[in-house]
Structure 1
Amino acid sequence: MASRPLHVAVLLFVFLNEVSFLKLMAKDHDHVVFVNGGGSDSPAPLLDCAGLCGVRCSRHSRPNVCQRACGTCCERCGCVPPGTFGNRDLCGPCYANMTTHANRTKCP
Structure 2
Amino acid sequence: MSGWQRSIIKERLGYKNYIYSATDPGPVNAAYSSQTCPVCGWVDAKNRHGDVFKCQKCGFTCDADQVSGINLKMRLHDEEITRYMPYKKVKELLLQRYYQKQQAN
TM-score, scaled to structure 2: 0.28
- The higher-RCO structure (CA 8 Å, 6+ apart) is 2
Q: Which has the higher helix share?
A: 1
TM-score, scaled to structure 1: 0.28
